[in-house]
Structure formats: structure tokens, C-alpha cells
Amino acid sequence: MHGKNNENFKGIDITVFKYIDKPIKYENFGFDILFEEKEQTDKDNKITREDEDPKYEEGKKTKRFVEDFVDDTIICRSILNYWTSSKNNGYFKSRRIIEDWLLDNCQFFEKKYPGSKNKTNDPNKIEQNNSNVTFLLERLKYLSLLKSRPIESKNHFETQEYSFTELGKLVALLLKYNGNFDDSQLVKEIYTQTLKYYETQNSSFALFCMLFFSNCYKRDSRLFALVIILNLLHIIKEPPNNKDAVLNKLRNFPVVYDSEALFKVLINSLNEFRALFSDDYNKVIYNLKLGIESDTEKKCKNLDSFERLRLGNISGLHPIVLEGYCTACNRYTPVIIESMFSYFKESIKNKDNRISMDCPDCEGENTVSFEPLQELDYKS
């Protein structure tokens, strides 16, 4: 065993490390383990391999890109597939998942032991791979995709057994999704699992997300697939490759609305939320307000005036302070939008333009303009 510095193992159960024989670096434990592709020596070649896939769009001679993942990524994806295939909610040990699932269903093992259906060698195969599989199970646990509990093994060693978390199940289903929004069965499964995951989050915003997602899905399951599923995938796939950043972004799902249809769903959901859970509604609106104002602050050109106007409006829940540019006064000026909802509405109307309003300083008509809201980040 290498890398004995405990600082590197924060958040990981030390007891399993007697089974792990390779050095690990804590800072490398990110969601990239699910997407890491083989590097090509030839730079002209894309990392992804173009393959003819007969099942893809039958009748058309379309090629699709097949990802060529590194071995650990293949194994991790297969571990997650263990849940999507078995829906087994119980606990399993590393040796058990190798024997029951990976040896027969994981592409890595199929390649390593080609054509071997002979079970007599299984104990050897399990021993050969147990250290690495345990290491990968711990990585998935570190990402909150698995949970574990200690258990005493036959030879009285303490070892761990694992089980999938709601997030782990969600990620497993997301990885199965290949962009086909007509796969209504899978879209429905992802929808159901998304609600289960957000239910575990215990916050006003998570509660709102559940209502919003459910209204999206009820309006049109394809809308849910196109917007919510793709955004969830985007969050786990995009850098920074930092576990906490990803989990935080999932918890604070960006309320996107890039179409009129979705905007209506958002507004209806907010109104419904207000009627159902008025306290939680206030918390969510307040946080949205803080999010928008803090985004404005980051880009602010006239910070002193902006800060003053913002402070003067701390008591109102709905009004928000933004910064616009007045073409009559030729300067940046903070403005109050009386209702967050009217800002949403104007943003939809002026998606590709700037929103304009009268100048509070020179009273110029529609001389102040500012950017429409592109995406509603709950907290930045």
C-alpha cells in the first residue's frame, strides 16, 4: 500500500485500504471517473472513435461516436449498471459484485478473460481484481453515489459492503440516456429517480425543484428530457472536476427556461408553490433574488450606487436591483425592477436583445438598457 498520508484520504473509510494496492490522490477523485476516455497518441485522431452502428437510426447510413473509455471508467459505469439492471437496493461486497455482475457483464472483464464461461477460475479472477474494484467502489462512495457500512468478513477482518444512494441511482440512469427523448420508459425512470434524489435534499429549493420538474414532465415528457435531463448530465459532466462543486450545483439546480413553454411552467410552478408552501416559497424567492443581485454585483460598473440602492431595498422580497446603461446620461446606473416576475417575462420577450426602461436619473424614455436573464442560478 502506498500514499499513507491520511490527509489524502479525507472522507474515505481507511479500513478498506488494506485491500487497495495502488497510490491514490484525494484531489483526483472527481466525476471525471465516469467519463474518462483513452488518450490517442495520434493527435489528428479524435479521442472518440467513429463506428458504424447498425442499430443506430436503422435505414440510414449514419455513424455515431462511440466513446473509448479507460478501463476504470468502464468498470465504474458497469458498477452503476448493476443497479439499473437489477434494481437491487440491498448491500453488496466487492467480491460479490465481481462474481455476480462484473465478470459476466462488464466489457473490461469480457476483454480480459475472452470466451471464458468456465466458472472454475472465478475465485482467482475475483482475487486478482478485488483490490481495484474496492478502490473504484470507494471512489464512487466518495462521490456520494454509493454508501457503505462496515461488516465483519469470514476471517474476522472488518470490511465494507456497499449500496446505491438515490444520487447513485440517478447518475446510473443518466449515463444510460443517449439523448433519445422518445425513450419514454427511460425518461420516466429518470424523472421518478430525480424526484427521489431531490426529496433527500431537504431544502425549500429542493421542494420547489420537485414541483417544477413534475410540472415539466406532466406538460411534456420530452420537455423534461430536453431541458432537465440534459442539464443534469451537463452538471455531472462539466468541469470543474470537483466533487463538492458538482453536488452543490445539483442541489442548486439552475432553473433554466429557454422557451416560452418552459417559462410558463416555471411561473405556474412558482404560483402553485406559493399556494402550497408559503414559507418555503418566501425562502426560494429570497434566494433567487440574492442570486440575481449577486450576479449583477459581479459585473457591476457603478458599484457604489448599486450597493446603495440594493441596501435601500432589502426589505422587499420581489423587487430586485440591477444595473443598466443609460444612453442619455452616458453612464451605468442601478435600477429597481418592481417584480422578479416581470424581469422573467421581459427576459423571455427580449431573449436576444437588451431590456430597456426609463432612466430613474434623467427620466429619459427607455434610455436605460440591461441584459435579459439567461439562466436562473439559484445561488452562485
- Which residue's CB atom is positioned nearest to Zn ion? 359
Under the rule (CB under 5 A), what is the footprint of Zn ion?
326, 328-329, 359, 361-362, 364
Phi then psi for residue 335, to 5 deg, are -130, 155
139 strand-pairing partners:
none
User: Smallest distance, Å, CB 373 to Zn ion?
Assistant: 22
- CA–CA gap between residue 166 and residue 171 (Å, rounded): 9
Beta strands in the chain (DSSP E): 49-52, 63-66, 146-152, 158-164, 255-256, 320-326, 331-337, 355-357, 368-370, 375-376
- CA–CA gap between residue 220 and residue 33 (Å, rounded): 33
At a CB cut-off of 8 Å and minimum separation 6, what does 8 contact? Answer: 24, 25, 26
Cell of 243: 466533487
92 strand-pairing partners:
162
- CA–CA gap between residue 274 and residue 280 (Å, rounded): 8
Please say which residue, 319 or 364, places its beta carbon nearer to Zn ion.
364
Please say which residue, 256 or 329, places its beta carbon nearer to Zn ion.
329
Please say which residue, 84 or 305, places its beta carbon nearer to Zn ion.
305
Please say which residue, 267 or 328, places its beta carbon nearer to Zn ion.
328
User: Smallest distance, Å, CB 357 to Zn ion?
Assistant: 11
Question: Cell 411561473 belongs to which residue?
Answer: 267
Give which of 210, 180, 193 is closest to 80, Cα–Cα: 193
User: Smallest distance, Å, CB 50 to Zn ion?
Assistant: 56
Please say which residue, 27 or 363, places its beta carbon nearer to Zn ion.
363
User: Smallest distance, Å, CB 371 to Zn ion?
Assistant: 18
User: Smallest distance, Å, CB 53 to Zn ion?
Assistant: 59
User: Smallest distance, Å, CB 368 to Zn ion?
Assistant: 6
In the chain, the amino acid numbered 143 is L
226 strand-pairing partners:
none
User: Smallest distance, Å, CB 358 to Zn ion?
Assistant: 9
Please say which residue, 126 or 326, places its beta carbon nearer to Zn ion.
326
Please say which residue, 290 or 329, places its beta carbon nearer to Zn ion.
329
